[in-house]
Amino acid sequence: MPKIVDHEVQRAELLDRAFELFADNGYRATSMRTLAAGLGVSTGTLYHYFGGKEDIFEKMVIRVSQRDVSAATAAIPPDADRALRLQLVFAWICANATYLQRMLLLIFDFQRHRSDDEATVLIQQAAQLYRSALEQQVGEAGPAWSLVLGMLVQGLLEPGIADTEQHLAGLQALLRT
Amino acid sequence: MPKIVDHEVQRAELLDRAFELFADNGYRATSMRTLAAGLGVSTGTLYHYFGGKEDIFEKMVIRVSQRDVSAATAAIPPDADRALRLQLVFAWICANATYLQRMLLLIFDFQRHRSDDEATVLIQQAAQLYRSALEQQVGEAGPAWSLVLGMLVQGLLEPGIADTEQHLAGLQALLRT
Amino acid sequence: MPKIVDHEVQRAELLDRAFELFADNGYRATSMRTLAAGLGVSTGTLYHYFGGKEDIFEKMVIRVSQRDVSAATAAIPPDADRALRLQLVFAWICANATYLQRMLLLIFDFQRHRSDDEATVLIQQAAQLYRSALEQQVGEAGPAWSLVLGMLVQGLLEPGIADTEQHLAGLQALLRT
Amino acid sequence: MPKIVDHEVQRAELLDRAFELFADNGYRATSMRTLAAGLGVSTGTLYHYFGGKEDIFEKMVIRVSQRDVSAATAAIPPDADRALRLQLVFAWICANATYLQRMLLLIFDFQRHRSDDEATVLIQQAAQLYRSALEQQVGEAGPAWSLVLGMLVQGLLEPGIADTEQHLAGLQALLRT
DNA sequence: TATGAATGAGGCTTCATTCAT
DNA sequence: AATGAATGAAGCCTCATTCAT
């Protein structure tokens, strides 16, 4: 069934580019017209490939979060010890901090728009995916995971205040336990 | 003389009740009509007391954040030592976690709507107010502040996962330095 | 009845200053709040002295047009001949062109707002007052009156295009007949 | 392919019918809802074809003024002499006096609403278009153009007072120079 | 498969007017 | 005599979605 393959390929391409558009202005403020224009298709086409705005967003989140996890763990040598893994993961987070912050804001924006269980589940799944990836590298994270999230959030609230070195040291302290 | 209404008192009352309405649905989704109905006044009256939706929100944030800081520090004995202070502050945060999470979401929602410098400054001021209050109790916070924020955020992403005891222990570890 | 006298005096003062406020933004765009603030009173006070916005405007037009006619004819010597009278009146019109244009725009704005007979009559009365004043000085005006009006209007449509000298010559030609 | 509708053709049809609606009540008093209802479309459709209320008005003025100039000059034989041209143009003006008066009021109403340079330029362009058309027929107009404008304005201020014959004679006198 | 014209409810805001004080 | 708080309809505009082509 080649048509279905094309369908999937086309959907995947649209989703990849959809993140930037959503992230620029948030879920609510990104209209279907804006989305269609930015993707170079018509609104009708979007409704042909997807069930609607929410559907696009949900599929996009799943796709993007999976891609992120792969990217973050790709550069870690299989034989690295726990300390090194932490350093590499932390470095990846810092390098992609802006991106991750946008993702976080985007998810909160979506949560606002749709507060059913379905949306909650989507967000939980995405969050768990990221968290599990971290725990696969450094073991049970607990407060360490909160520290990572908090560092990103503080960057949103008071940009430029957070001290990266201190946060790495904090992470190491939390995980030494 | 007009109907006897103290302008400032009336504004304060409206602002206090406005928080709940905003927090229920977020900044964007809370319409002026909803707000007016929820406050028991007409939209025109809101425009009599405030400059508009943004004005209401901004004044509300300032008022509420100041009130929070007072409440959080009120129960701390002046002669408490640093460890006790941390415990009391942390207890207050946990007791008001849901409220603080709503505040956080609300601020992010507003930031989406308005990304001017003015909005950024408002958010920074509010964030700094909370952070300074914490630092007054436990000294320079650094990653500890991020841990607090992160705990709240994790509660939004994956409700019920975070372990309060572990987080308190983490905080103590971070601040022992 | 001293109270009534005060009433009239107060009304007259308000009307005199109301013209500028109306003329600045037009009839529609001048709100009662703006008017009240500009006059240094409350909206309630305006409703105490006048029947409403339309009433203020109508009384203002009558007052101002009478004042204008007096001003325009005041400087004309009783023994001036027809040619001199024309020159003096024309000079007054040119000197007050901007003001007269504002008046014209204001009247059209009001006519738009209220197209009943009452408004039409008010405008006719004012127009007749100005036209009669001109005819008292230079005799039956006919097209000469149109030329004056047209000069003002052209100044509104294409500012700076009209040649004053040519218009005076045109007026003289029209009135020589 | 979408529903087959030529964007430009549809816009042109809407604009043609929009003039009547605007002229009936003026720019300000003609709401988008009124406009949409009068044109038999939804407000959303109007925003699909145009940028907004001002955009509709501006495009309408340009279209209508060009159409007028064509109509006014269409009936003039190429070999007519200057006197005949004046008579024919004047006849056209008188025949369309009511229409031209509505146009004039409409433009003034719009000028009130929007006093930017852009609006001023639009009005100047339209005025110049009409004036140039007159001057192409009868040569440099100067005060003659003002007389035409003034005749129209007087008809607005004091309907039925102006004497058409006298005005034609006046025009001839002014242009004989 | 793909288009984009069309909808109409709902967004924020303004305003003349009333009336208790 | 004077105030200004309160009203609520109506202003312009945006948007996700549908459907004829």
Distance CA B21, CA B28 (A): 11
CA atoms of A128 and B127, how far apart (whole Å): 27
Burial D134-143 (b: 16+ CB within 10 A, else e): beebbeebbb
Q: Give yes or no for residue D177 having a pLDDT over 80.
A: no
For residue D40, count other CB atoms closer than 10 A to its CB.
Answer: 9
How many residues can be counted in chain B? 177
pTM listed for this prediction: 0.91
Residues of chain C with pLDDT under 50: 1-2
Q: Which residues fall within 8 angstroms of residue B35, CB to CB, at 6 or more apart? A: B18, B21, B22, B46, B53, B56
Please identify residues in chain A, positions 6-25, with a C-beta within 7 angstroms of any atom of strand E.
10
Average pLDDT, chain D: 93
C56 contacts C64 by C-beta, under 8 angstroms: no
Q: Does B167 touch chain A (CB under 8 A)?
A: yes
Rounded CA separation D168/D177 (Å): 15
Chain A touched by B139 (CB under 8 Å): no
CA distance D7 to chain C (A): 32
Asked if B4 CB < 7 A from strand E, the reply is yes
User: Does D105 reach chain C within 8 Å, measured CB to CB?
Assistant: yes
Q: Tell me how far apart the alpha carbons of residues B156 and C43 are, in angstroms, rounded to a whole number.
A: 50
Residue A150 near chain B (CB below 8 Å):
yes
The phi and psi torsions of A116 (rounded to 5 degrees) equal -70, 180
Question: Gap from D16 CA to E16 C1', in Å?
Answer: 34
Confidence of residue A5 (pLDDT cuts 50, 70, 90): low
Burial of A115 (0-12, 13-18, 19+ CB in 10 A): middle
Using the predicted structure, report yes or no on whether residue A9 has a pLDDT greater than 50. Answer: yes
The yes-or-no verdict on residue D9 having pLDDT over 80 is: yes
Phi (first) and psi of residue A161, to 5 degrees: -85, -40
Q: Does the pLDDT of residue B21 top 70, yes or no? A: yes
Q: What is the mean pLDDT of chain B?
A: 93
Residue A163 DSSP label: -
Q: What is the DSSP letter of D36?
A: H
Nearest Cα to B174, choosing from B72, B73, B69, B86? B86
Assigned token pair, B83: 């460890």
* pLDDT for the residue D1: 47
- Alpha helix stretches (DSSP H) within chain A: 2-29, 32-39, 43-49, 53-74, 82-95, 97-113, 117-138, 143-157, 164-176
- In DSSP notation, A18-68 reads HHHHHHHHHHHH--HHHHHHHHTS-HHHHHHHSSSHHHHHHHHHHHHHHHH
List pLDDT tens digits, range B66-91: 999 999 999 899 999 999 999 999 99
**Axis-axis angle for helices A53-74, A82-95 (nearest 10):** 140
Residue nearest to nucleotide F11 (CA to C1'): D31
Q: Which subunits sit against A, judged by 3+ Cβ pairs under 8 A?
A: B
Three-state DSSP state, B104:
helix
- What's the pLDDT score for residue A13? 92
Contact C54, C114 (CB under 8 A): yes
Neighbours of C104 (CB within 10 A): 20
Instruction: Report the Cα–Cα distance between both ends of chain D, in Å, rounded.
Output: 63
Q: How far is A44 from chain B (nearest CA, A)?
A: 26
